Amino acid sequence: DADVTQTPRNRITKTGKRIMLECSQTKGHDRMYWYRQDPGLGLRLIYYSFDVKDINKGEISDGYSVSRQAQAKFSLSLESAIPNQTALYFCATSDLLDRGGSNEQFFGPGTRLTVL
Amino acid sequence: QQQVKQSPQSLIVQKGGISIINCAYENTAFDYFPWYQQFPGKGPALLIAIRPDVSEKKEGRFTISFNKSAKQFSLHIMDSQPGDSATYFCAASMDQAGTALIFGKGTTLSVSS
């Protein structure tokens, strides 16, 4: 979905390096999310944010941190990357007012991260 | 612990057949149950969702059946088409805004022509 963009799309890094994944959205949504996807494990919520001042931990926040720089931008950081953080990372957004009535989350195209 | 259990892991269906994917949950506080569809190289996209006050919801060829007493819900794809080949995830949330979704592990569906 071009309304939710993620950079980089692919990244290879080494153990111990700090890395930041960025997400931007033009949908005007208040809520933003970071998930990781591992083969056979589905998607797991890392962090979510209701607005710039409201950030919440998800299922698997250990080893990760986030920053909500603006309504449209939500970054995920790995302070010291480790190999088991190798995964596909997705950013998503949803509308606080839920105008569509579906509570739909809109996902970006994903960032494939490999930690060697 | 796995809060939403999804089965089967993979499914092969002939064109025109019915695809059925099942999910079960333990937490009775869940009150929003969406299904997401993911094509290779893409992010998941909402397919259909249901709340526990109804037992069935239909949108085109896709139907969710919900059994509150059994704590189970399922996705039925009628007249399955090759274009339906994708990975399907069930999910559940405890807040009515569907914020913190707990996903199942996914089912890879292949529809043969």
pLDDT value at position B96? 62
Tens digits of residue pLDDT in B59-100: 999 999 999 999 999 999 999 999 999 999 999 988 766 678
* C-alpha to C-alpha distance for B11 and B18, rounded to whole angstroms: 11
- Please name the amino acid found at residue B51: R
Residue B46, chain A, CB below 8 Å: the answer is yes
Residue B60, chain A, CB below 8 Å: the answer is no
Tens digits of residue pLDDT in A47-76: 999 889 999 999 899 999 999 999 999 999
Question: Contact A42/B99, CB-based, under 8 Å?
Answer: no
Cα separation values, B27 from A2, A41, B7, B13, B15, Å? 35, 19, 18, 31, 36
Residue B40, chain A, CB below 8 Å: the answer is no
* C-alpha to C-alpha distance for A25 and A2, rounded to whole angstroms: 8
Residues in chain B closer than 8 A to A42 (CB atoms): 6, 89, 103-106
Tens digits of residue pLDDT in A12-46: 999 999 999 999 999 999 899 999 999 888 999 99
* C-alpha to C-alpha distance for B62 and B49, rounded to whole angstroms: 10
pLDDT value at position B51? 87
